[in-house]
């Protein structure tokens, strides 16, 4: 069986190309693959025989670029493991799966980083990206103890899931240690907060992955402490990441731009697939990756495989379909956490497209916030309600005079404590003045009569 896997690898490598005809790759939008040297690396290995287990929120294998990639799907919840996929938003996991191993050189969509690898989905995140550390540990142990022993080639865990406790939960650390000891490769998302990664303690048994922007620098949100390697995770430009994020498969047969170490991690999982399918152990693959990184720690899988040239020809690609308008990807509501919780990194603003555009996508400007109305405007003792929207827009407003001025002044002044005091004094003066005026008139009338 092992011989058959190696023979398949050799056949795949001989037919490999560093210039696949997938439109998103051919148009230059998959900058993360080029940044890490994947096109040249494909001349030496495409990950044939490797299995990448995506432990996340469930993969939508109905996507055309993931067709034929599925080996299995399981759901882990409350410690129970059952076959299938739970009905929930599978966008995050589908995006991760496409980066790692989408079908390549098929003339549609995008190219996967390990195009010949297969995929196994283990869902332990549900609505809103909610899950528990217990279920994460159960998912890792399931792949380690039930899936890997039956798979003839190398198995890699992609865990784009971060602990919100600030450190690796003990049960998760134990499960990762067991996976490593049994020969599995492990790629962990470092998290999306600068500083030290919550997985820093796992650096010897897993590849803890930070994120790079399109310019090659560490992304603004990426941790740097405890990180073994950096790979393309994308960067936001203002309110959009179109073109500067990572494009990949999404639910409903679409493609989306997302940003985060969640997106960097499948690049490294794919690199492990390429190295381990070429005969390296998990520990040897870790060492090779770290020994061939860029000076800043960036992944260079071409150097790791000793393949820095090109190969193959460019297959004829069908004309790309008309671009679809960009629209925001679904935004997940903040989940109610179960302690201790784990959650996928929240995606940055994304655009979903059904096909690659003929030119660089144009960012959709964010809608201007609605102006507050008198009903919803804040009010307290020191502020006044906002004027009606039409009052200022109508142009000149006739200023109040005479008694109107008094009413306007007293009405506004009554809303503050000093105003109330001034108003009380004015009222007392007015009463005294009125009494004296009445007395004066009576005296005057008396004099006239006399």
Is residue 92 annotated as a catalytic residue, yes or no? yes
Answer yes or no: are the C-beta atoms of 144 and 182 closer than 8 Å. yes
Residues 6+ positions from 186 with CB-CB distance below 8 Å: 156, 157, 159, 176, 179, 180, 202, 205, 206, 207, 282
* Locus of tokens 């900058």: 31
pLDDT digit string (tens) for the chain, length 450 residues:
222 232 233 323 334 789 999 999 999 999 999 999 999 999 999 999 999 999 999 999 999 999 999 999 999 999 999 998 887 778 999 999 999 999 999 999 999 999 999 999 999 999 888 899 999 999 999 999 999 999 999 999 999 998 666 789 999 999 999 999 999 999 999 999 999 999 999 999 999 999 999 999 999 999 999 999 999 999 998 889 999 999 999 999 999 999 999 999 999 999 999 999 999 999 999 999 999 999 999 999 999 999 988 897 654 443 343 333 333 333 333 332 222 334 344 344 345 555 554 443 443 333 333 333 333 222 222 222 222 222 222 222 233 333 333 333 333 333 333 343 344 444 455 555 565 666 656 665 554 443
339: three-class secondary structure by DSSP: coil
- DSSP summary character for residue 196: B
User: Beta strand 130-132 with 155-159: parallel, antiparallel or unpaired?
Assistant: unpaired
What region does 318 belong to: left with phi over 0, alpha with psi -120 to 50, or beta?
A: beta
Q: Per DSSP, what are the bridge partners of residue 327?
A: 352
DSSP of 400-425 = P-THHHHHHHHHHHTTSHHHHHHHHH
Structure tokens at 36: 């890490």
CA 77, chain centre distance (Å): 23
* Locus of tokens 């067991």: 178
What region does 306 belong to: left with phi over 0, alpha with psi -120 to 50, or beta?
A: left
Is residue 56 annotated as a catalytic residue, yes or no? yes
Catalytic site residue from 18, 22, 40, 56: 56
Answer yes or no: are the C-beta atoms of 338 and 125 closer than 8 Å. no
Catalytic site residue from 18, 197, 262, 307: 262
Structure tokens at 272: 């492990």
From residue 184, give the alpha-carbon distance in Å to each of 5, 320, 328, 407: 17, 39, 36, 80
Catalytic site residue from 63, 90, 92, 267: 92
Distance CA 220, CA 211 (A): 9
Distance CA 6, CA 153 (A): 9
Distance CA 179, CA 335 (A): 29
What number of residues does the chain have? Answer: 450
Answer yes or no: are the C-beta atoms of 274 and 47 closer than 8 Å. yes
DSSP of 112-178 = -SSTT-EEEEEE--BGGGEEEHHHHHHHHHHIIIIIGGG-SS-EEEEE-EEETTSS--HHHHHHHHH
180: three-class secondary structure by DSSP: helix
Distance CA 220, CA 237 (A): 11
User: Beta strand 130-132 with 118-123: parallel, antiparallel or unpaired?
Assistant: unpaired
């Amino acid at each position: 069986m092992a011989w058959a896997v190696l023979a398949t690898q050799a056949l795949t490598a001989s037919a490999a190309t560093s210039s696949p005809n997938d439109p998103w790759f051919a148009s230059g939008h998959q900058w993360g693959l080029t940044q890490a040297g994947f096109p040249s690396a494909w001349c030496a290995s495409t990950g044939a025989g490797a299995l990448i287990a995506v432990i996340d929120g469930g993969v939508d294998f109905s996507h055309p670029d993931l067709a034929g990639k599925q080996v299995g799907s399981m759901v882990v919840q409350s410690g129970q493991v059952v076959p299938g996929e739970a009905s929930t938003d599978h966008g995050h996991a589908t995006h991760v799966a496409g980066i790692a191993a989408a079908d390549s050189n098929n003339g549609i969509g995008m190219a996967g980083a390990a195009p010949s690898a297969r995929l196994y989905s283990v869902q332990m995140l549900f609505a809103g990206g909610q899950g528990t550390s217990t279920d994460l540990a159960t998912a890792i142990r399931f792949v380690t103890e039930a899936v890997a022993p039956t798979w003839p080639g190398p198995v890699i865990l992609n865990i784009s899931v971060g602990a919100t406790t600030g450190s690796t939960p003990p049960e998760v650390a134990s499960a990762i240690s067991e996976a490593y000891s049994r020969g599995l490769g492990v790629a962990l998302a470092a998290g999306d907060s600068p500083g030290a990664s919550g997985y820093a303690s796992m650096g010897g048994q897993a590849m803890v992955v930070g994120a790079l922007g399109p310019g090659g620098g560490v992304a603004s949100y990426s941790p740097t402490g405890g990180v073994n390697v950096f790979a393309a995770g994308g960067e936001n430009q203002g309110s959009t990441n179109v073109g500067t994020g990572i494009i990949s498969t999404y639910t409903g047969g679409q493609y989306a731009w997302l940003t985060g170490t969640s997106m960097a991690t499948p690049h490294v999982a794919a690199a492990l697939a390429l190295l381990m399918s070429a005969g390296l152990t998990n520990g040897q693959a870790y060492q090779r990756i770290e020994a061939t990184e860029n000076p800043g720690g960036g992944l260079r899988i071409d150097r790791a495989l000793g393949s820095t040239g090109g190969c193959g020809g460019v297959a004829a690609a069908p004309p790309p379909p008309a671009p679809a308008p960009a629209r925001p990807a679904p935004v997940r509501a903040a989940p109610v956490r179960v302690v201790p919780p784990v959650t996928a990194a929240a995606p940055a603003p994304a655009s979903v497209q059904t096909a690659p555009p003929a030119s660089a996508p144009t960012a959709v400007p964010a809608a201007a916030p609605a102006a507050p109305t008198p009903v919803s405007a804040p009010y307290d003792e020191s502020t006044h309600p906002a004027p009606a929207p039409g009052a200022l827009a109508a142009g000149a407003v006739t200023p109040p005079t005479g008694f109107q001025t008094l009413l306007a002044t007293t009405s506004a002044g009554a809303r503050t404590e000093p105003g109330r005091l001034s108003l009380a004094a004015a009222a007392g003066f007015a009463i005294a003045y009125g009494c004296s005026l009445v007395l004066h008139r009576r005296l005057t009338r008396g004099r006239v009569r006399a």
